[in-house]
Amino acid sequence: MDLVVQSPDELLAAVPHVLGFKPEESIVLVPFGPGLPITRVNLPKNAADREEVWDALSGPYGRHARPGARLAILCFTEDRRSAELASQHLSNRLETVGITTHIRLWADGERWREFNTGQTGLQTQATAERIAAATVLTGAAQPAASRASLAASMVGDREPIAQLLPAARAAAAASTPAAERDWALDRLEQFHADGNRLSDVDGARMLVALETIGTRDALWEDMSRENHTSHMAIWNDLTRRAPDEVRAAPASMLGFASWLHGDGAKAWCALDQVPADRPYSMAAIVASALQNGIHPREWERYQTQMRDLAGELDESFVPKPPEHQRDLPRTQPATDRPAPGR
């Protein structure tokens, strides 16, 4: 999604549409030009937390920095003093890797202040509505009210499929892995064509089929930057409906598709749906891509090595966001991390 903004008010109004949710108590880094990721971190409130934020961001930003790189630091909070200290600290650290902070902007929902120049202004409803209308024309979904509501959108009624799992397992046992893999690929192809939600019976069968790694990998290999939105739709729906015992696979598939789409916040929220007592190697791959600020375009180059790594990872590893969760990667990558003590 490409938006042209011409004022601080427009820039602030555009951020929720880029992240996919309205940030609260957050810092958002917005680059001017390609190459650097768009990143959200929880607003640090003390010196130690500010250093933790930089520790989390220094790797991805240092790796992607190019001569002349510039960005804006936007602080969404009522705590203006913490915003000023945190943005200045981050600006100083970014300078050490060759990135200039063009704008340091604070906003509390009603007004804004640009710390570098002292300029002030109001956040207007008219601007918010104009930016929202522009994003609708691009076909983009409107942002969630908050990161918490984005996470809540991945939780649905899981009882219907839970009741069908025993029958689905019995049917799979009477079939063969190859037959179930072929059925799953055919059903996925049908979803790509019509977009119709899987029935509870088909949903249960698909989730059981995904427990076979060869079938999971066949569906994973179908995923590309051309069809990832369709994958996001099917795996979001099945993550919402999957009981704990079968949710790790669809949640990881959703996380990967969201990363491929450049939606780091949704990817992290999807990984949060992987049950803590059911660690999953594919989730670890997605978590690593997010933590290291890997751009989705790098997937085509490294997918063989990354798939092999997924098969070799210790299944006892539970992927969790760093203390300062960030939501990294969009086609201009967009990322997110919660704060220390999460």
Tens digit of pLDDT for each residue in 66-95?
888 999 999 999 999 999 999 999 999 999
What's the one-letter identity of residue 235?
W
The two tokens of residue 95 are 């300078």
The residue out of 143, 170, 194 marking a domain boundary is 143
| Least-confidence region, from 94-98, 253-257, 265-269, 319-323 | 319-323
Say whether both 319 and 272 belong to one domain: yes
The C-alpha atoms of residue 7 and residue 50 are separated, in whole angstroms, by 28
236 and 320 in a single domain? The answer is: yes
Note whether 137 and 177 are same-domain residues: no
Asked whether residue 1 is domain-assigned, the answer is: no
Q: Is the per-residue pLDDT at 129 higher than 60?
A: yes
Confidence of residue 62 (pLDDT cuts 50, 70, 90): confident
> The tokens of 302 are what?
């490294």
**Quick one: pLDDT at residue 279?**
74
Whether residue 204 is found in the same domain as residue 77: no
Give percent of the chain with pLDDT exceeding 70.
84
From 74, 108, 143, the end of a domain falls on 143
Q: Tell whether the model's pLDDT for residue 338 goes beyond 70.
A: no
Spatial distance between the Cα atoms of 338 and 235, rounded to a whole number of angstroms? 24
pLDDT of residue 2: 58
Q: How confident is the model at residue 149 (pLDDT cuts 50, 70, 90)?
A: confident
Least Cα distance to 180 among 201, 206, 162 occurs for 206
Kind of pairing between the strands at 26-32 and 70-76: antiparallel
Domain check: are 181 and 329 in the same one? Answer: yes
Count how many domains the chain has: 2
H helix or E strand, kind and range, residue 248:
helix 248-261
For residue 2, being part of any structural domain is answered with no
Tell me the three state secondary structure of residue 211.
coil
Tell whether 99 and 157 lie within a shared domain. no
Tell me how far apart the alpha carbons of residues 67 and 230 are, in angstroms, rounded to a whole number. Answer: 37
Instruction: Indicate whether 231 belongs to any domain.
Output: yes
Q: Could you tell me the CA-to-CA distances from 272 to 24, 74, 276, 321, 339 in Å, in that order?
A: 19, 26, 8, 9, 15
Q: Are residues 132 and 183 in the same domain?
A: no
Q: Is residue 324 part of a domain?
A: yes
How far lies 261's CA from each of 167, 236, 258, in Å? 35, 13, 5
Q: Is residue 342 part of a domain?
A: no
113 occurs within a structural domain: yes
Higher pLDDT: 56 or 319? It is 56
DSSP 295: -
Last residue of a domain, one of 76, 111, 143: 143
Decide if 57 is inside a domain: yes
| Assessment of whether the complete model's pTM goes beyond 0.85 | no
Report the alpha-carbon distance of residue 289 to residue 314 in Å, rounded: 17
Measure the CA–CA gap between 118 and 157, rounded to whole angstroms: 50
Whether residue 169 is found in the same domain as residue 78 = no
Q: Is a pLDDT exceeding 90 seen at residue 299?
A: no
Q: Read off the amino acid at residue 17.
A: H
**21 and 98 assigned to the same domain:** yes
Q: What pLDDT digit, counting tens, does each position of 192-216 carry?
A: 999 999 999 999 999 999 999 999 9
Compute the half-sphere exposure of residue 226: CA atoms within 13 Å on the CB side of its CA.
Answer: 4
CATH number of the structural domain spanning residue 124:
3.40.140
Residues 161/207, Cβ–Cβ less than 8 Å: yes
Domain span at residue 17 reads 8-143
Domain-located, residue 127 = yes
* 179/52 same-domain check: no
**DSSP reduced 3-state for 282:** helix
Q: Are residues 169 and 52 in the same domain?
A: no
In this structure, the answer to whether residues 137 and 202 fall within a common structural domain is no
pLDDT in tens, 301-313: 666 666 565 555 5
Least confident of 130-134, 224-228, 285-289, 335-339: 335-339
